[in-house]
Amino acid sequence: MATTRHFLTDLDLSPAEQREVLDLALEMKAEKYGFTPYAGPQTVAVFFDKTSTRTRVSFHAGIAELGGSPLIINSGESQLGHKESIPDSAKVLERMVSTIVWRTYAQSGLEEMAANSSVPVINALSDDYHPCQLLADLLTVREHKGELAGLTMSYLGDAANNMANSYLLAGVNAGMHVRIAGPEGYLPAESIVVAAQERAALTGGSVTITTDAAAALADADVIATDTWVSMGQEEEKEARLKLFTDYAVTSAALARAKDDAIVLHCLPAYRGYEIEAAVIDGPQSVVFDEAENRVHAQKAIMAWLMAASGLAASVREAK
């Protein structure tokens, strides 16, 4: 029997597997209703402990397009986590649904769910990573730039948050040169930098962690940023809005990158803070392609995990 595969961090896919998933996402984008590994319809449970627009809608649409039935469960609507332990929840859910998708706070909760589940568990954003977003981002870069390996991707802002970690790990997994810039004290944890360096050594990518925004931007192919106040950090908002001002993606910052650089933002965006309106609404921004690609990328990872876990006959057909 195949081992169940999960997608909890960007490094849960090998470089070859990441490429396979992105190839599949492009095929699915071209043939929207041609893949039905959840035919039945089988149910996918999607839990939200934090708010969402894109993740919620893209998973719902994607699960339906794969022939399945999405069950969206918002914070406070289930027993998970407060009235019932994660292991007990996993053991109940695995008998009823084909995949578990969860947006939550602690990464350890996702790990505990996966350790107790015989169906795939997917991280729909945790405090530490947002790997589904990065599949969509890399898909968008591929569409605009072709080959990912060898490109320079620079992320500026809160460099200790989930998006910074995922840009670093997913980017080097694809063989990219990833530069992460933020102020001292808000840079990726040492363990994540080491994991990224190890993966980069396999793919030909590289890791640069810096407090120098201008150096990070020089000749970059892809510029990315994210909110300075992530979900769960609302009480620190006032202080955070002052911390990252030197790392804002302004027109002047963008001018340091290559002339044909593209700009990513996972959204929601706060114009005038992490990104200038002229940049996010300008010709180099691809943020709405990126948002649409959440659907295609997530369909691909769901179908791929089902097939790789032996739970679907193939990415196209249910068992």
Q: Which residues, other chains included, contact 269 with Cβ-Cβ below 8 Å and sequence gap of 6+?
A: 227, 275, 280, 287
What residue 53 binds from ligand NVA, ligand CP, none (CB within 5 to 8 A, per partner kind)? Answer: ligand CP
Among candidate residues 6, 130, 142, 199, the one labeled active-site is 130
What's the CA gap between 221 and 10, in Å, rounded?
21
Q: Is 266 a catalytic residue?
A: yes
Residue 266 binds ligand NVA (CB under 6 A): yes
Residue 98 binds: one of ligand NVA, ligand CP, none (C-beta under 5 to 8 A by kind) = none
> Would residue 130 show up in a list of annotated catalytic residues for this protein?
yes
State yes or no: is 5 an active-site residue: no
Q: How far apart are the C-alpha atoms of 110 and 125, rounded to whole Å? A: 10
Of the candidates 71, 231, 241, 243, which one interacts with ligand NVA according to CB under 6 A? 231
- 226: partner contacted, choices ligand CP, ligand NVA, none (Cβ within 5-8 A by kind): ligand NVA
Contact flag: residue 161 with ligand NVA (CB under 6 A): yes
Our CB check for ligand CP shows the closer of 102 and 199 to be 102
Closer CB to ligand CP, 40 or 268, in the complex? 268
Rounded-to-integer distance, Cα 194 and Cα 21, Å: 25
**Helix, strand, or coil here: 142?**
helix
64: contact with ligand NVA by CB under 6 A = no
Of 137, 141, 208, the residue nearest 177 (C-alpha):
208
Tell me, yes or no, if 296 is annotated catalytic: no
Judged by CB under 6 A, the stretch of 18-26, 193-201, 225-233, 274-282 that binds ligand NVA is 225-233
- Please give the Cα distance from 187 to 165 (Å, whole number): 9
Q: Of 6, 177, 266, 298, which residue is the catalytic one?
A: 266
Q: Would you count residue 136 as binding ligand NVA (CB under 6 A)?
A: no
Asked if residue 160 binds ligand NVA (CB under 6 A), the reply is no
3-state secondary structure of 109: helix
- How far apart CA 49 and CA 56 sit, in angstroms, is 12
Residues in the chain: 319
Residue in the shown chain whose Cβ atom is closest to ligand NVA: 230
Q: Which of 179, 226, 240, 316 is catalytic?
A: 226
Active-site residue 294, yes or no? yes
Q: Encoding tokens for residue 293?
A: 């690609």
**Nearer to ligand CP among residue 291 and residue 311 (C-beta):** 291
3-state secondary structure of 225: strand
Residue 132 a catalytic site member: no
H or E segment at 21? helix 15-30
In terms of CB distance, is 99 or 133 closer to ligand CP? 133
Determine which residue in the list 12, 226, 276, 290 makes contact with ligand NVA, applying CB under 6 A. 226
Closer Cβ to ligand CP, 148 or 163, answer by number = 163
Query: What is the separation of C-alpha 51 from the centre of its chain, rounded to a whole number of angstroms?
Result: 16
- In 3-state terms the chain splits into helix, strand, coil percentages (rounded to 5) of 45, 15, 40
For residue 51, the tally of other CB atoms under 10 A from its CB is 12
* Tally of CB atoms within 10 A around 202: 12
> What are the residues binding ligand CP (CB under 6 A)?
52-55, 125, 133, 266-267
Q: Which is nearer to ligand NVA, 36 or 227 (CB)?
A: 227
Return residues touching ligand NVA (CB under 6 A): 125, 161-163, 226-227, 230-231, 266
| Residues forming the active site | 103, 130, 133, 226, 266, 294
